Amino acid sequence: MCSQKITTQPLLRKIFQPFFNLSIYKKFCLMFSAFFFGFVIISYHDYYFHHQFIEKLSLLQNDANQAEINAIISNAKEHESHSFLMAGFIVVFLATMSFIATKFLINLLSEMRQRLIAIRLTDESCPNSERTAEIPIFTNDEIGQVSQATNELLRNIREISIFRRTIEADETTEEIYQRLAALFENQLDFRSYVIYEIIESEESIKPAYFFPKEIKSEICQMLNADMCRAKRTAEPCSSVNFPGICPVFPHPDVMSHTCVPMIVGGQSLGVVQFLFPFVTTAKREREAVYNLIQAKQYLREALPVLQSKRLAEDLHNMAITDPLTRLHNRRFLESNINTVIAGVRRRNTQLAILMCDMDFFKQVNDEYGHDTGDAVLKSLAFILTNNVRASDIVIRYGGEEFLILLVDCHPDMAMEVAEKVRGAVERHTFTNDNFSLKKTISIGISEFPPDTEGFWESVKYADVALYNAKESGRNKVVRFSEEMWTGTNY
């Protein structure tokens, strides 16, 4: 819940504000001067009295009478009383002022403590939370400087906490990279940087995000991840103090760079490379160092989240990817087909469905073994992918069956692509160290929605056409027609 505003004494604060604006040393000097001034006043008062007393006594040495002596004694007692009153007043006044000042400082420190405790309970969804979660600054002395430094630290912690909660709600690593990019550009004022992502399965490192877009052709080119010094050593790498430290960096004569590895739990997720024009002033160097420290703090918070998102993405990809051919599997089709259909209907186009099956594939497993069969399937997946557009979808439907979805397919295009695929398989020689063989493929075609308004019914129609191609001699492309289907339930 929102922290309640802590009450203060505005009148006393206003009265003592000039005093609190002094440094602690000046406060001490002022208090010492006040006590010293009070001591001087009392001493002068006593000195003046004794001086007058002695003068009067010297005048009475020859002709003194009792009345004058009594008057002098009475005057002395009155002066003594005044001295006590003056001394008491000065002591009480200075003690009261010291007590009020000390009490106010104690209240201020107590309020700082309460604010620090309240920060833990602050609800940052409260509109006034940013104000109530900070320590009030009433003085310009060392205590005020400590309060200001503490507030800056608290703001930094709060901003990092908000950043972490924000990226935890993101769904993909791309969204996290975009938030890091916005942070680098807008808050930390980095004008040029590259976020590299390490692909462990490929042992490669690739740029996932970079700014500005014009530096795309100037990014470090690395054949494998270990070519990156920061990744290999798991330590920051900077050419600011060590020019030429990275042999891969393409422009050592134009700018300096600092590479920060993204490591969490012993796993290297990537590298962030910050690029700087050569630093020419001490101010720019201090700003660059400070911004790098800030960037590392945000990266430390982002890395566990980034790791969990990547793990979730890997698990999701494993669930929707065929491990042998690296194509999408049937689960991917079931999860994403509604989106594909919605796009086709929105654009008022059609979707061609090609059901493909390698002819006599069982013979490959029986004669050459399952390892050879797996190699043939991987080669077939490569042929299918290379003979369709990037926007089309190739799916391993099951066993040696593959499903190709031609998105936004115009009339006659399905037959052209199917014949292209069939011819490519027929011409290809499947080879390995232990075998060399030729294979063919049969393909059945249906179109959605021309053939039917139901997608899965269209898939069934393509399967029926494939069956017809098999029955009529194999190594053929057959387009579905109504007379092929006599059933009522697909």
Looking at residue 420, its pLDDT comes to 95
Looking at residue 248, its pLDDT comes to 87
Looking at residue 468, its pLDDT comes to 94
Top-level class of domain 330-484: alpha beta
Query: Can you list the alpha helix ranges (DSSP code H) found in 60-141?
Result: 66-120, 129-132
Average pLDDT score over residue span 13-24 = 65
Neighbours of 386 (CB within 10 A): 10
**CA dist 303 to 107, 297, 452, Å?**
41, 10, 49
Of all residues in the chain, what percent carry a pLDDT higher than 90?
Answer: 29
Average pLDDT score over residue span 53-73 = 63
pLDDT category of residue 7 using cuts at 50, 70 and 90: very low
Give yes or no for a contact between 177 and 200, defined as CB atoms under 8 angstroms apart.
no
State how far the Cα of 140 lies from the Cα of 315, in Å rounded to an integer: 56
Give yes or no for a contact between 408 and 349, defined as CB atoms under 8 angstroms apart.
yes
Grouping H, G, I as helix, E, B as strand and the rest as coil, residue 28 is: helix
State how far the Cα of 481 lies from the Cα of 479, in Å rounded to an integer: 7
- Average pLDDT for the chain: 81
Looking at residue 6, its pLDDT comes to 40
Q: Is the pLDDT of residue 65 over 70?
A: no
pLDDT category of residue 12 using cuts at 50, 70 and 90: low
Average pLDDT score over residue span 72-94 = 69
Average pLDDT score over residue span 125-147 = 63
Peptide bond preceding 449 in cis form (omega within 30 of 0)? yes
Looking at residue 172, its pLDDT comes to 86
Which of 7-21, 194-208, 472-486 reaches the highest mean pLDDT?
472-486
Contacts with 123 (C-beta within 8 Å, 6 or more apart), sequence order: 1, 2, 129
Closest to 224 in 3D by CA, of 244, 204, 200: 204
State how far the Cα of 374 lies from the Cα of 372, in Å rounded to an integer: 5
Contacts with 187 (C-beta within 8 Å, 6 or more apart), sequence order: 294
Looking at residue 51, its pLDDT comes to 62
Looking at residue 465, its pLDDT comes to 94
Q: How would you classify residue 270: left for phi > 0, otherwise alpha for psi between -120 and 50, otherwise beta?
A: left
State how far the Cα of 330 lies from the Cα of 320, in Å rounded to an integer: 7
Looking at residue 17, its pLDDT comes to 65
**pLDDT, tens digit (0-9, with 9 covering 90-100), for 238-261:** 888 888 888 888 888 888 888 999
Chain mean position to CA 243: 29
Neighbours of 18 (CB within 10 A): 8
Least confident of 50-54, 222-226, 394-398: 50-54
pLDDT category of residue 83 using cuts at 50, 70 and 90: low
Which of 126-130, 177-181, 228-232, 356-360 reaches the highest mean pLDDT?
356-360
Grouping H, G, I as helix, E, B as strand and the rest as coil, residue 276 is: strand
Query: Can you list the alpha helix ranges (DSSP code H) found in 280-405?
Result: 282-320, 330-347, 361-368, 370-386
Q: Is the pLDDT of residue 10 over 80?
A: no
Spatial strand order of the sheet with 441-448 comes to: 393-398, 401-406, 351-358, 441-448, 477-479
Looking at residue 479, its pLDDT comes to 94
State how far the Cα of 215 lies from the Cα of 344, in Å rounded to an integer: 37
**pLDDT, tens digit (0-9, with 9 covering 90-100), for 294-315:** 899 899 988 999 888 888 888 8
pLDDT category of residue 224 using cuts at 50, 70 and 90: confident
Torsion angle of alpha carbons 224, 227, 228, 230, nearest 10°?
120
**pLDDT, tens digit (0-9, with 9 covering 90-100), for 329-385:** 999 999 899 999 999 999 999 999 999 999 999 999 888 888 899 999 999 999 999
Closest to 331 in 3D by CA, of 321, 342, 341: 321
Q: Is the pLDDT of residue 447 over 70?
A: yes
Domain definitions of the chain by residue range: 10-132, 173-320, 330-484
pLDDT category of residue 81 using cuts at 50, 70 and 90: low
Of all residues in the chain, what percent carry a pLDDT higher than 70?
Answer: 77
Looking at residue 359, its pLDDT comes to 93
Looking at residue 8, its pLDDT comes to 45
Average pLDDT score over residue span 195-202 = 82
Looking at residue 423, its pLDDT comes to 95
Burial of 380 (0-12, 13-18, 19+ CB in 10 A): buried
Give yes or no for a contact between 467 and 475, defined as CB atoms under 8 angstroms apart.
no
Choose between 410 and 355: higher pLDDT.
355
pLDDT category of residue 145 using cuts at 50, 70 and 90: confident
Looking at residue 117, its pLDDT comes to 75
Superfamily of domain 173-320, CATH level 4: GAF domain (3.30.450.40)
Burial of 479 (0-12, 13-18, 19+ CB in 10 A): buried
Is-above-0.85 flag for pTM?
no
State how far the Cα of 268 lies from the Cα of 203, in Å rounded to an integer: 11
pLDDT category of residue 4 using cuts at 50, 70 and 90: very low
Looking at residue 204, its pLDDT comes to 85
Grouping H, G, I as helix, E, B as strand and the rest as coil, residue 246 is: coil
pLDDT category of residue 127 using cuts at 50, 70 and 90: very low
Give yes or no for a contact between 351 and 411, defined as CB atoms under 8 angstroms apart.
no
